[in-house]
Structure 1
Amino acid sequence: MRLLVLCTHNSARSQMAEAWIRHLAREMGVDLEVHSAGTEKTFVKEEAKRVMAEVGVDLGGHFSKTLLEVPNPWEFDLVLTVCDAAREACPAYPAQTVKRHVSFPDPSGKPLEEWRRVRDALGRMARYLVENLRAGRIPTDEELREAAR
């Protein structure tokens, strides 16, 4: 299965979600190809790298990219938007693509504690998503939102 996490700048939330999902899929033995992108391209924020490193997940090789920089950008089985702006700007995908949306607050410009809260919520959502994908089902938006709490 190919999964895309989409956000506005691909600098924090989508990067952390991509890393969580990839890490947990590997941990649970789930065959997932995971990418992230932004509707705009910037850079991966140092705070995202720092808080993910605290939980043993490395963002060192990550870089910000737009959808057109992702391999086969129109061939994803699941597209997950993690901010409202990306949901609004999300392009139309082929009919076989499933879209899910869970909005997370932008921690940019906030203390590290806020970054940790967002990281942990993304981690809870990612774990629930991967567990369900391992069981052969794609959870609903509401189920993913509830898991993130």
Structure 2
Amino acid sequence: MVVVASNKNIMKSTLMLNSQLLETIGRLPFQAITQERKAVLEKLVGYVQQRINEHLPVRLNFICTHNSRRSQLAQIWAKTAAAYHNVHIESYSGGVEVTGFNDRAVEAIKKAGFRVTRKGELNPKWFIFYSDDSEPVVAFSKLYDDAINPNRDFAAIMTCSHADENCPFIPGAHLRVPVRYEDPKLFDDTPLELQKYEERSIEIATEMFYVFSQIQKTDG
């Protein structure tokens, strides 16, 4: 069947999204994005639009310190939002230390409606499916300059203040965009843990869907 989201800020799509994920997308709180935050996102919108206009590849590398929470969520949601809006991008993530895709963040995307499988034990690879007819996003903790990531001609999206402040230079990036999010790790092992991870996932989803809803496709 053709899946269409109910939220008026979401355009129609023929992407065969997982039904639970579709429901999550339909509830994204676009009204919560402030004008100040939109100004932050506008640099990312402008970059993607320029690349599309020039028929150049769009490569986004989301970077935070441990590549375990925010950068992983941003990579997954950006790829999903771009696919939904029929904007072709390549979405990556990395950090300055290798840890693992945090189990709490994995649970947050499962609750959003992604189908998730796992391979391996130590720093396992997670295969994140937003649609049964699309290739999964492969998520695992890695350095931002890991061989799987682009080494040139990409935008570095800094999702945490620590990485943004301590990595003043990202080799190969021709644009650096700070899009910082509060770390849900602050609430680990507290009664608010689940709530805060879900909130961060939804916040990132909302902003990524907003970004790609602004992109105008070109002919050719």
TM tier relative to shorter chain: 0.7 to 0.9
| Same amino acid, percent of matched pairs | 26
Question: Which residue of the other structure, out of 72, 80, 84, is the alignment partner of 1:27?
Answer: 84
- The residue number in structure 2 matching 1:144 is none
TM-score (ref. length: structure 1): 0.80
For the pair shown, which has the larger CA radius of gyration, 1 or 2? 2
Q: Which runs of 4+ in 1 moved over 4 A?
A: none
Q: Counterparts of 2:68 and 2:99 in 1: how far apart (Å)? A: 6
Q: Report the count of equivalent residues.
A: 134
Judge conservation of contact 1:23–1:57 (CA < 8 Å) in 2.
Answer: no
In structure 2, distance between residues paired with 1:23 and 1:115: 18
Question: Do 1:35 and 1:70's aligned partners in 2 also have CA atoms closer than 8 Å?
Answer: no
Structure 2, unaligned runs of 5 or more: 1-57, 117-125, 128-138
Superposed displacement of residue 101, structure 1? 0.8
Superposed, which structure 2 residues align to 1:1-149 within 5 Å?
Answer: 1-58=58-115, 60-61=126-127, 62-71=139-148, 73-90=150-167, 91-94=169-172, 97-108=174-185, 109=188, 110=190, 111-132=193-214, 134-135=215-216
Distance in 1 between the 2:59 and 2:162 partners?
22
Calculate the aligned-residue CA RMSD, in Å. Answer: 1.9
**C-alpha displacement at 1:70, in angstroms?**
4.1
Q: TM-score, normalised by structure 2?
A: 0.56
Structure 1's unaligned 5+ residue stretches are 137-149
> How many angstroms apart in 2 are the aligned matches of 1:124 and 1:32?
18
- Give the distance between the partners of 2:141 and 2:149, measured in 1 at CA: 17
Q: More helix per residue: 1 or 2?
A: 1
